[in-house]
Amino acid sequence: MSDCIDDRIEGNFVFLAVRATDGSGRRAGVDLPMDPDELARFEGEQGLMAPSDYRIDGYSKDGIVGRMGFAPFRDDSPLEDVNLLCRAVDAASRSDPHAADKVAAWAECWEVDDPRVLAGVAVRSADIPIHRYSRPRGMDDLQWRGLDPLGRLGASMSEERGLYGALRSGGVADSFDYAGYAYAAREDDDRQMWCSDDGYIVDSDLPNMPPLSARGLEDAVAALETGAAVMDPADPTNMAVTAAESGRAL
C-alpha cells in the first residue's frame, strides 16, 4: 500500500478508496475515522459485507495515513480494523501530537501491517519518547528554520558530537549538508531514526509491544475517545485508569 497515495482524494483524516471484488469495477470512498455503527451502515449500503467483497486501493495524502507516509495495513485489511487504527491514532493525537509518527516508526521497525496491533501501539504511544531537535549554539534562527527535519537532525547531531564548532571555525557551517550528515551518521551507527517536524524517534526506543486482547483494545480506544475511566487491559486486576493515564499504563 506504500504507493497508493492519490492526490485527487481529499479527506479530513483518511479517505479510503474501496474497490469491489465482484468484477463490477465499483469504487466507493469512506472518510475515517467514523463511528462503528456508521461504518456498518456504509458497508451495508455498498454491499461490502465481508473483507473478501472489497480491496483498499487508495487513500488521501492528508490526515492520519498521509502523515504516516505509507499505509500500515494491507489492501485486504478489514475496514473495521483500519477504522479502529484511525480512531486510536486520532484519539491519541489529542494528548500526543506525535502519535501518528510513533505508530508509523513502530510499524516500519517491527515490520507490522496489522491495523489492530498498531491501534494497540497508538493507545500506548506515550510510552515511546520523542527526542527534540537542538539548534547548535551559534546557528542563526533563519538558517535553522530553513532546514528540513532531516537537516535539523543532522545539525543537532553535529552539535552533540562536537562537529559544529569545527564547521564554524572553518567557515563552512552555513553551507554544510546537515541532511547528508544525518543520513551518513545513521548508517555508521547502524540504527534507524524517524524524523518529524520538531523531533525524532530512535529504533532503540521502540519496544516490542504485545497485542492487546480484542476487548481490551476496544475499551482502550473508547476510553481515549471519551475520557472515561477503563480497566487497564494489560492488567485486569489493576484499578481503573483515566484516558489521560491510559497511554502510559496500558
Comparing CA positions, the residue from 11, 17, 125, 133 lying closest to residue 67 is 11
Q: For the chain, where are the E strands, in sequence order?
A: 14-20, 27-32, 54-59, 131-132, 193-195, 199-202
Under 8 Å between Cβ of 60 and 15: yes
> CA 60 to CA 118: how far, in whole Å?
19
Continuous segment of H or E residues that includes residue 66: helix 63-68
User: Which grid cell sits at 38?
Assistant: 456508521
Comparing CA positions, the residue from 172, 169, 170, 139 lying closest to residue 156 is 139
pLDDT digits (tens, 9 = 90+) for 210-245: 888 999 999 999 999 987 644 454 543 342 344 444
Mean pLDDT per 10-residue run, the chain (250 residues)? Answer: 46 65 83 92 88 84 70 87 93 92 93 94 94 96 96 96 96 97 87 90 92 91 79 42 41
Cβ contacts of 52 within 8 Å, gap of 6 or more: 21, 76
- Return the domain boundaries, the chain: 14-125+209-249, 131-205
Model pTM score: 0.81
Mean pLDDT of the chain, nearest integer: 83
